[in-house]
Structure 1
Amino acid sequence: MRRRTAIVVVAGVLTAGLAACTDEKSAAPEPVVWSKVDVGAAEPVVLAQHSSDLLIGLRHRGAKVVPELQLLDGTGKRTPIAVKPNPASPYAFEAIWYSIAYDGKQLLALGGASGGAHSNTRWTVWTGTPQTGLVERPQNFWTFGGQTAGDLFSAVLTPSGGALLGTWGGVETGNDAMVWLPKSGGMWTRQDPTKTVLQSTPSLLVGPGFGTTLGTGIVLVGSQVRLAPNVVAQEAAAWRSTKLNQGWTRIALPEPGNRSQANTATCAESCVISGYVDGQLAIWQLDEDGTAKRLQGVPSIPVGDKDKLPPPVVNGEQIVQIVAQDNKVKVLTGRDGHWTVQESQGPEGLVTDAVLMPDHKLYLIAGTSLWQTTLS
């Protein structure tokens, strides 16, 4: 059975009058009205954005059909981007998009499909441009597979090049955070985390689960588990590089409570990180100098270990975060210490991704549909 999920959008004022007082005696804020976006017969699974271009990754559930990719431009025009699997790579034909990175020129995508005797995820890597299409780059089995294989979760593009992010069997113990970088011939190779903060040790296990970029570097978010005699403490954490896979540092996110996890992040000049502390929604800010703080006054929204949190959205001085509660979409508007909760009209179900465009249109994947509303 799928775990109950919560959807919360932390946003700027969505319609006139959203700045209503949150005092118990005040009238409830007006609901946020969403409209469904036509993407054809397929199901949206992931979004990526650069400038006024929105990329929509789609799948055909239950069918072994090549995954789709569409570009929605600032005028609302939808254009299919060619997706070209290698004929010798059977899992590419049934891949589901896990992550798509786009920097305005290059595309880098990560796909996965269950297969083999143990139904493990078979990963596929795709590169290209919107003009030439997305081409699969077959890898050998040991690139992402084997007895020490971990997980993959994000594809990123930095000014110094692309990277795939995940975990791998630890040099000493547990799993290490792992970075794959491209090499000649379209192949990708694991980087050695030994003696860096990406390596787990007998006293500290690293556990990232999401990655993005900040400037020339990479940001990973997840949790660290401190191990000591009679003590096991899971705390929200972030890892940041100065340039691609160089200069990694680890940041323990403040006020971690008894048990916490950072699930997702969005970075521009600084990062907004969302996760949970003791089973409730938590939001942190990570500045470029490495200073982190937990934002105060966030309403009590239940978030569990398996719940999905789409990346937060920054709209001016406000933050937009999407979580789901009892399959109902809610909108949490705010900044540090000041928040407003709204209901929604339209979307229901699990929420998996969200993107804010320059024209203040907010796109949201909820259930099996793509939805849109406009922030003011």
Structure 2
Amino acid sequence: MRRLTLAVLLVLAGCSSGGEPDATGFTAVDLPATPEALAAHGDMLAIGTRTPDHPELVLRSADGTLANSRLTPATPYGEEAHWYGVTSDGTTITGVGGERGGAHGNVRWSTWTGDARVIDEEPQAFSTFGGYGAGELIGPVRTARGPLIIGTWQSAKAGLDIAAWTYAAGTWTRQPSAGTVLESSQELLRFPLSVTPDGDGALVVGWQIAKGQVSAAVWRFDGTTWTTATLPGGDAALAARCWDGTCHVVGRAGGRLAWWSGPQWKKLATPDVPVGDDQTLAAPVPVNGTPTLFVDHGGVKLVSEKDERPAEGPSGAVVAAEKVGDQVFVIAGGRLWRLGQVS
């Protein structure tokens, strides 16, 4: 009896004294279409999905209930769009879609605005996102002053500038990049790759090249002014997320994972994870208080500054991660997964 009691105590101690739970188990979330983008919409998860021929937007409540928003396309390309990004301020949902077409196979962009019930495509003039000087759209982001769309546009000096479009009364308007840190020049070319909310503003991450030297870089908008910083020891910043006053940026350095913490932009030591030149990364999320990256590295892994653990369930490329309330969701291998034991 004494040995049995001791054994039980040891088991209980192992369950309770180990600190945080081993949050590696996932549950698949069955959806009627393929998930492409995620965003927190208040206490709900907004999921941009696509059937074989048209986009949809699904809202998942905290209890797991799924409901489709009524999507109302207004253009032929809107009817066929893939989701390039979805964002929300908790009330209004803003989305960017795109589908290739036309003689040159360029992406034909569509913009979407609505709420949990109805999402409408808002047609824009062709010159808003297209035309001779057009670049690419990275995606939408919410700020205290309203949503922005971040992308690129032909520079007056060299290459492409980073471009920001603002929204008012159904119309997106590109703001001038000339004279700001978003402008490229003969000496410095800039390439944005991802955007995330940052306090009242936004953080754009990517890479730049100056005098043949390639480096990871960030461009930060405080609601009024853009500033920029070069990230130490990196080739490209691929994704970022900000919470509790800190921005967590992940990218590539010499073909391996690089991780920076801002606004001081300190480079952190991380597990050795390969990141290819054409690989994308999903933005980190907090898991049990630890900034965590989900990445396909011999199977989907949970990577933090300290360790790397295999995920139980998902497989394939990770394209998005999002935390809503106390739940974390990941798109991997074309499916949506919910991570267990998160706080």
Distance 2:247 2:38 in 1: 19
Tell me the TM-score normalized by structure 1: 0.83
Contact 2:109–2:129, Cα closer than 8 Å, also in 1: yes
Q: Using the TM superposition, give the Cα deviation of residue 167 of structure 1 relative to its aligned residue in structure 2, in angstroms.
A: 0.7
Q: Where do 1:319-334 residues align within 5 Å?
A: 319-326=291-298, 328-332=299-303, 334=304
For structure 1, the residue ranges without an aligned partner over 5 or more in a row are 1-14, 21-28
Amino acid at match of 1:206: R
Contact 2:284–2:294, Cα closer than 8 Å, also in 1: yes
Q: Using the TM superposition, give the Cα deviation of residue 140 of structure 1 relative to its aligned residue in structure 2, in angstroms.
A: 1.5
What is the DSSP-based 3-state SS (H/G/I as helix, E as strand, rest coil) of the residue aligned with 1:92?
helix
Aligned to 1:236: 216
Contact 1:48–1:55, Cα closer than 8 Å, also in 2: yes
Q: Does 1:222 align with 2:195?
A: no
Distance 2:166 2:25 in 1: 42
Q: Does 1:368 align with 2:334?
A: yes
Q: Using the TM superposition, give the Cα deviation of residue 164 of structure 1 relative to its aligned residue in structure 2, in angstroms.
A: 0.6
How many equivalent pairs are there?
Answer: 327
Amino acid at match of 1:71: L
Aligned to 1:26: none
Amino acid at match of 1:74: A
Amino acid at match of 1:279: G
Amino acid at match of 1:352: V
Amino acid at match of 2:171: M
Aligned to 1:76: 64
Distance 1:196 1:159 in 2: 21
Distance 1:286 1:349 in 2: 30
Superposed CA offset, 1:183-215 (max 9, x none): 44x221211111110000111111111111212
Q: Please say which structure displays the higher CA radius of gyration.
A: 2
Q: Does 1:286 align with 2:262?
A: yes
Distance 1:272 1:147 in 2: 36
Percent identity among equivalent residues? 36
Contact 1:265–1:271, Cα closer than 8 Å, also in 2: yes
Q: Using the TM superposition, give the Cα deviation of residue 154 of structure 1 relative to its aligned residue in structure 2, in angstroms.
A: 1.4
Contact 2:134–2:154, Cα closer than 8 Å, also in 1: yes
Contact 1:150–1:169, Cα closer than 8 Å, also in 2: yes
Q: Using the TM superposition, give the Cα deviation of residue 317 of structure 1 relative to its aligned residue in structure 2, in angstroms.
A: 4.0
Superposed CA offset, 1:289-336 (max 9, x none): xx211112x01111012112011112354111122124x11122x34x
Distance 1:171 1:249 in 2: 20
Aligned to 1:6: none
Contact 1:154–1:212, Cα closer than 8 Å, also in 2: no
Amino acid at match of 2:67: T
Q: Using the TM superposition, give the Cα deviation of residue 169 of structure 1 relative to its aligned residue in structure 2, in angstroms.
A: 1.0
Distance 1:284 1:198 in 2: 21
Q: Does 1:272 align with 2:252?
A: no
Distance 1:172 1:36 in 2: 49
Q: Where do 1:1-376 residues align within 5 Å?
A: 32-40=24-32, 42-61=33-52, 63=53, 65=54, 67-86=55-74, 89-131=75-117, 133-184=118-169, 186-227=170-211, 232-243=212-223, 246-256=224-234, 260-268=235-243, 269-287=245-263, 291-296=264-269, 298-315=270-287, 317-326=289-298, 328-332=299-303, 334-335=304-305, 339-359=306-326, 361-374=327-340, 375=342
For structure 2, the residue ranges without an aligned partner over 5 or more in a row are 1-14
Tell me the TM-score normalized by structure 2: 0.90
Amino acid at match of 1:341: E
Contact 1:264–1:309, Cα closer than 8 Å, also in 2: yes
Amino acid at match of 1:331: L
CA pair 368-105 structure 1, distance change in 2 beyond 3 A? same
Contact 2:138–2:192, Cα closer than 8 Å, also in 1: no
Contact 1:18–1:30, Cα closer than 8 Å, also in 2: no
Distance 1:357 1:38 in 2: 18
Distance 2:106 2:17 in 1: 49
What is the DSSP-based 3-state SS (H/G/I as helix, E as strand, rest coil) of the residue aligned with 1:308?
coil
Distance 1:34 1:124 in 2: 33
